[in-house]
Amino acid sequence: MNVSDYFKLKAAKVDEWLGRLLPAEDEAPETIHQAMRYSIFAGGKRLRPILAIATGEVFGAEERELMPAACALEMIHTYSLIHDDLPAMDNDQWRRGRPTCHVKFGEAIAILAGDALLTQAFLTLAGYETANLDRKIRVISEVARAAATTRALIGGQVLDIESEGKQITSEQLEAIHRAKTGALIRCSVQIGAILGNANESQLNLLTKYGEKAGLAFQVADDLLDETATSEELGKTAGKDAASQKATYTAFYGLNGAREMAARLCQEAIDAAKCVERDVRMLESIASFIVERKS
Amino acid sequence: MNVSDYFKLKAAKVDEWLGRLLPAEDEAPETIHQAMRYSIFAGGKRLRPILAIATGEVFGAEERELMPAACALEMIHTYSLIHDDLPAMDNDQWRRGRPTCHVKFGEAIAILAGDALLTQAFLTLAGYETANLDRKIRVISEVARAAATTRALIGGQVLDIESEGKQITSEQLEAIHRAKTGALIRCSVQIGAILGNANESQLNLLTKYGEKAGLAFQVADDLLDETATSEELGKTAGKDAASQKATYTAFYGLNGAREMAARLCQEAIDAAKCVERDVRMLESIASFIVERKS
């Protein structure tokens, strides 16, 4: 299967599971459930769940464990987008081709919808059927660690906010993105490996794959922000440059950033190859990450 | 030991554990860790952790499980206060005798500090040593459920926001508080019981105790908001009436609300007595909840 069909197939499956895992829109209090679903069903690529699923499939992980864990990763990703878009943060009006959550539902409900998706992620991670409780606890720990403050999601957003308008080094730029986008992408790969009972050496290689793919994703994101239109992106293009955010393209130029993305993609693929399993889909996903158009 | 000494003793212990469980103030990124600690060490009563501890002690629960779980409950309570105080929600400037988190650190960091405490709660719940993984998963599930949207913490805040300035019924008022404050207080008691391996009948009785105590707490809170000074409360007194929030005192008058608090307290005590263990501290805590001066 080519990577584009794989994404379509798995994204549909993720959406089906998310539909079951989230409270229904007509369940009280309705507003919050509508806001949660509005943001999660806004047409995201489902990169994080698909990385977890593709990695899990390499090792024959069980679907009843893999799908809830994959969906929890998407809930956390969506919560972080809702909160990042708030007026007090990036103040974005537009996301995935439609008004952001706070524009649609107001700021209070948007804050609470983010909180609720984060909480629902852990409810989901604690709730699925499994015969291996050790593995389940490990997954919860890894996800919480990736979503926390130290070299993790929230910490990355803090660094990002604090760096705005300031002169930062390329090391600081990398630290921001390793934390802000890298930690959860790496974690997604790790969760797939853990649920598939990968051994420690395989887990280390896949962690490296996830790290490189996560950085490649961010470099490609910066490139798209400069070269794609708002329509293609479904969000305001050129916003990073306008708000004087440090980006890979600002540091290395368009060509430098393109070379960097290609190199990171290759390093990810090299790490995956060493796992000595059929990792072709992981290779294709790494390439897709740097070649995507939105 | 009298209840006031018990609170002092256990609050000190909770603070000691919280100090170890939260990232250090000088750990990068420092701002977020300072904000988390600023809000959690603002001198709260530690009611939720102490309810968990007191219930756990009735059944001889292990400290290495009880203390982290108790601290996680306080992290969630504190996150909910930080977010409730935000300009987009209740817009409170003053909490526990000092500026609220967003006044001190700005809105962006306050939102993230709340997110971080919620995340840290689950990291803590997944991280402690135990020989009983089933019990650990059950605790994570119960806490996530109490913090979620359906008859739970976030849902209660949504109902509260949506009811502001509107005419609501006494049933709606009770639904708000059962969710907004009641769910986490009830959960605190349940966590203590679960970690002490209480049987199902004991767990049901203690759930009832927790429910009644949670409602009694809210009625007492409304009474204090009308009768205590801002100085005694450490937050703006009379704010609920000023913002036209529905309260128990508005519905039942001062005397009616006092009678209601006393009745709920007695119902909590009656439920606890049926457990047929030494529940004297739980009885004293129920009385303390309605008799407290702040």
**Distance between CA atoms of residues A242 and A46, nearest Å:** 28
Q: What is the pLDDT of residue B242?
A: 64
Q: How far is A141 from chain B (nearest CA, A)?
A: 6
Query: What pLDDT digit, counting tens, does each position of A36-52 carry?
Result: 999 999 999 999 999 99
Percent of chain B with pLDDT over 70: 96
The answer to ipTM > 0.85 is: yes
Proportion of chain A in helix, strand, coil states, percent, rounded to 5 = 75, 0, 25
Chain B residue numbers touching A122 (CB-CB < 8 A): 122, 140, 144
**Token pair of B149, please?**
């949207």
What's the 3-state SS for B164-196?
A: CCCCCCHHHHHHHHHHHHHHHHHHHHHHHHHHC
Whether this prediction's pTM lies above 0.90 is answered by yes
Given a cut of 70, whether residue A242 has pLDDT beyond it is no
Where exactly are the structural domains of chain A? 3-291
Percent of chain A with pLDDT over 90: 88
**Distance between CA atoms of residues B229 and B238, nearest Å:** 8
Contact between B173 and B218 under an 8 Å Cβ cutoff? The reply is: no
The pLDDT-based confidence of B246 (bands split at 50, 70, 90) is confident
Contact between A159 and A232 under an 8 Å Cβ cutoff? The reply is: no
| Mean pLDDT, chain B, integer | 95
Q: Which residue of A has its CA nearest to B28?
A: A150
Please name the member of A79, A140, A154 whose beta carbon is closest to the beta carbon of B116.
Answer: A154
Chain B residue numbers touching A33 (CB-CB < 8 A): 149
Domain A3-291 CATH assignment equals 1.10.600.10: yes
Mean pLDDT of B9-19: 98
Q: Which residue of B has its CA nearest to A88?
A: B108
| Beta carbons within 8 Å of A132's beta carbon, 6+ residues apart | none
Q: What is the pLDDT of residue B243?
A: 67
**Distance between CA atoms of residues A95 and B46, nearest Å:** 40
| Mean pLDDT, chain A, integer | 95
Given a cut of 70, whether residue A18 has pLDDT beyond it is yes
The pLDDT-based confidence of B245 (bands split at 50, 70, 90) is confident
Peptide bond into B49 cis (omega under 30): no
Asked if A158 and B109 come within 8 Å (Cβ–Cβ), the reply is yes
The count of C-alpha atoms lying within 13 angstroms of the C-alpha of A107, restricted to the half-sphere facing its C-beta, is: 18
Q: What is the pLDDT of residue B145?
A: 98
Calculate ∠ Cα B141-B145-B146, nearest 5°: 120
The pLDDT-based confidence of B124 (bands split at 50, 70, 90) is very high
DSSP for B88-117, written as a single string: TTT---EETTEE-HHHHH-HHHHHHHHHHH
Given a cut of 80, whether residue B234 has pLDDT beyond it is no
Contact between A93 and B126 under an 8 Å Cβ cutoff? The reply is: no
Asked if B144 and A133 come within 8 Å (Cβ–Cβ), the reply is no
**Distance between CA atoms of residues A294 and A223, nearest Å:** 10
Q: How far is A158 from chain B (nearest CA, A)?
A: 7
